[in-house]
């Protein structure tokens, strides 16, 4: 596996690649969910590329950005062991030489669910993903269904701007107790970690959204939202200081 920290070097090298290029964009602090994306990319594409970039512009809370877990050396090993050929580690000034003056905005879906409580979040997500698509020029890009709203927005963006990138959804990977894998899980207080799986259990119960809210509130969760859309129940909650998201099909 080869690592690129200079985007100008990568862009020059990219012109030498042939065959189908698959891409897994990440913010690092990788877990088995990311590994599953990388494995599928490796299986389906001639060339497997990943990126590790903690994107500051999608954080609406500076404290959240500051405490976001970072493990670049471990991340590189995880990506290599799961089939990555190349990994790019961009720096802020390489991604945002304009200081984020130019950005992408979606005006409907991005204003609901996570977008309603995190203003500007999806502007940051869509902008960085479009930039990474232009840098990597993949044929396929792989995204987990845990962030289902994000997946829908990126898929819509790729189609709206005629990128030619196929957006591939991949199933949510869970811990043995049902908790959706997330880099933020590492920030859960040890005493609260056994409670966390009850979030997914409640979403999977088949109860109406209002009753799920009641169940979770009694168990100590603080509700951001529990909503049903298009045959899927979406939820975001706080457990202690950690925000968890999940969704399940109805």
CA dist 38 to 22, 28, 42, 54, 160, Å?
A: 9, 13, 6, 18, 26
Which among 41, 146, 157, 74 is positioned nearest to 110, based on CA atoms?
157
State the catalytic residues: 34
pTM beyond 0.85? yes
**Chain-centroid distance, C-alpha 142:** 10
What pLDDT score was predicted for residue 122?
Answer: 98
What pLDDT score was predicted for residue 120?
Answer: 95
Domains of the chain with CATH codes:
2-170 (3.40.50.620), 183-245 (3.30.1300.10)
Angle 21-27-30 (CA atoms, 0-180°, nearest 5)? 90
Tokens of 63: 């404290």
Which among 232, 84, 239, 223 is positioned nearest to 172, based on CA atoms?
232
pLDDT tens, 30-74?
A: 999 999 999 999 999 999 999 999 999 999 888 889 988 899 999
């Amino acid at each position: 596996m080869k690592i690129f920290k200079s985007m100008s070097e990568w862009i020059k090298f990219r012109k030498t690649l042939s065959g189908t290029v698959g891409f897994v964009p990440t913010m690092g602090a990788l877990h088995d969910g990311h590994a599953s994306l990388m494995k599928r990319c490796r299986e389906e594409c001639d060339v497997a590329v990943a990126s590790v970039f903690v994107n500051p512009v999608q954080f609406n809370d500076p404290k959240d950005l500051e405490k976001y877990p970072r493990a670049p050396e471990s991340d590189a090993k995880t990506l290599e062991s799961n089939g990555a050929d190349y990994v790019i580690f961009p720096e802020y000034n390489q991604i945002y030489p304009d200081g984020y003056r130019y950005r992408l905005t979606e005006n409907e879906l991005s204003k609901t669910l996570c977008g309603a409580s995190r203003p500007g979040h999806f502007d940051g997500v869509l902008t960085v993903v479009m930039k990474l698509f232009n840098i990597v020029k993949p044929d396929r890009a792989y995204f987990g269904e845990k962030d289902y709203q994000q997946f829908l927005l990126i898929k819509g963006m790729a189609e709206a701007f005629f990128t030619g990138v196929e957006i591939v959804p991949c199933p949510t990977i869970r811990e043995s107790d049902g908790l959706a894998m997330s880099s933020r899980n590492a920030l859960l207080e040890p005493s609260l970690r056994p409670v966390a799986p009850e979030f997914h259990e409640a979403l999977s119960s088949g109860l109406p959204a209002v009753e799920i809210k009641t169940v979770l509130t009694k168990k100590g969760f603080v509700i951001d939202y529990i909503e049903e859309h298009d045959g899927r129940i979406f939820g975001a909650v706080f457990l202690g200081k950690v925000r968890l998201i999940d969704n399940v099909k109805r």
